[in-house]
Structure 1
Amino acid sequence: MKVIIGLGNPGKQFDGTRHNIGFDVIDALSDKWNIPLDQAKHKGLLGTGMVNGEKVLLLKPLTYMNLSGESISAVLNFYKLSHEDIVVIYDDLDLPPGKLRLRQKGSAGGHNGIKSTIAHLGTQEFNRIRVGVGRPTDKRSVPDFVLSRFTKDEQELMSKVVDICGKACENWLEADFLIVMNKFNG
């Protein structure tokens, strides 16, 4: 089984915000693969199904961003999975809007959802897709910026990026993550 995890914050007030790009990818995959997110357990919203012969679990942690690791570790423990069986998708301020960076390990880079994930998994070694959302160019604080919605121009770009993230996840079901990294980085 492979687990695809999108980080974000639950609640309508956070829909469409920069911080919820991970949730956006999971919602798109749910629609594309006809895997309803209909199970509320392990502190998250889950959906399970088969894609290209691989059992897939889609996860949106409902713990709020800063506690994402609680849900992720609960799912891995319940299904007796390894950190190698997951990919975590999340926003990254240090990348320009729309740029993707796939990695198999690394630090949290200041991202509280990833800090929580590392703390709960006990390792920095797990597959991740960082989605660039850029930094504020005005006087907004970082928290205000990541909780803001994309501009109209950015929405068009991010819609394409969500689709590309979905394609990367689908490739991962059939190929080693290193191959997927080489194909989709940038």
Structure 2
Amino acid sequence: MKGSVDLIVGLGNPGPEYQFTRHNMGFMVVEALREKYRGRWVVMPSHSMHAKVSVAKNELTLLCPLTYMNNSGKAVKDVVGWLELEPSQILVIHDDLDLAMGRLKLVSGGGSGGHRGVSSVLDALGTNQVPRLKVGIGRPRFSEDVVDYVLSPFGEDELPLLEQVIQKATYSCELLVLEGLPKAMSIINSLKSMSKGGTS
């Protein structure tokens, strides 16, 4: 496999009340990949659900931890051990407050940026050298509490843009698998952001 990524993890919170919240962006992208490649979710004893898919003959495991965001690392570590993977073979997808809605950033490592789900994964794996796809959700306007903001659903006026963002993120995952991390980073991180009216 050229991209050497074998496990794609989406971070989020389980349950219908969180399904379309900003903090569940990772879940949404992984679900879009599962649907596109016709994978089937299987709930695992390690408090997660996984699906096997094939992207251009590259066999991948998609994973959504069911531990709630702040404890995501336990589920990820269990599955990484089960699959006998190195951290470099994982892609973690998560929301990012510091990127505007419509922006994506693929990174090869680095700190959590205050994202507790990411912190949990990095702590559990004992390294910050884990490839991650950051999906921008922007910061709250006015004086809205950050926790309330990330746990709130997207507004009706944001849904068309949300659909575009998810499509762009799934494309980014495919690009990583097919072309490898350095080339994927070069392409994805140079893509223009999107606005409600399209690209900007």
TM-score normalised by length of structure 1: 0.96
Question: Counterpart in 1 of 2:113?
Answer: 109
Question: Counterpart in 1 of 2:68?
Answer: 64
Question: Counterpart in 2 of 1:88?
Answer: 92
Compute the displacement of 1:41 (Å). Answer: 3.5
Question: Counterpart in 2 of 1:157?
Answer: 161
Percent of aligned pairs sharing the same letter: 38
Compute the displacement of 1:158 (Å). Answer: 1.4
Which structure 2 residue ranges, 5 or more long, are not aligned? 192-200
Compute the displacement of 1:172 (Å). Answer: 1.6
| RMSD after superposition | 1.1
Read off the aligned partner of 1:75 and give its amino acid letter: V
Compute the displacement of 1:54 (Å). Answer: 1.1
Question: Counterpart in 2 of 1:45?
Answer: 49
User: What is the alpha-carbon distance in structure 1 between the residues aligned to residue 119 and residue 23 of structure 2?
Assistant: 15
Compute the displacement of 1:136 (Å). Answer: 0.9
**Moved beyond 3 Å, runs of 4+:** none
Question: Counterpart in 1 of 2:79?
Answer: 75
1:173 to 169, 172, 177: 177
SS at match of 1:89: strand
Read off the aligned partner of 2:170 and give its amino acid letter: G
Compute the displacement of 1:36 (Å). Answer: 1.3
Contact 1:103 1:181 (8 Å CA) reproduced? yes
Q: Deviations over 1:93-113 (max 9, x none)?
A: 111111111100010100000
Q: Deviations over 1:50-102 (max 9, x none)?
A: 22111110000101000111111111101101111110000011111111111
Q: Deviations over 1:92-135 (max 9, x none)?
A: 11111111111000101000001101100110001101011111
Which structure 1 residue ranges, 5 or more long, are not aligned? none
Moved more, 22-31 or 146-155: 146-155
Q: Deviations over 1:2-27 (max 9, x none)?
A: 11110000000001100000000011
User: What is the alpha-carbon distance in structure 2 between the residues aligned to residue 184 and residue 9 of structure 1?
Assistant: 26
Question: Counterpart in 2 of 1:18?
Answer: 22
1:123 aligns with 2:134: no
SS at match of 1:10: coil
Compute the displacement of 1:39 (Å). Answer: 3.3
Contact 2:34 2:53 (8 Å CA) reproduced? no
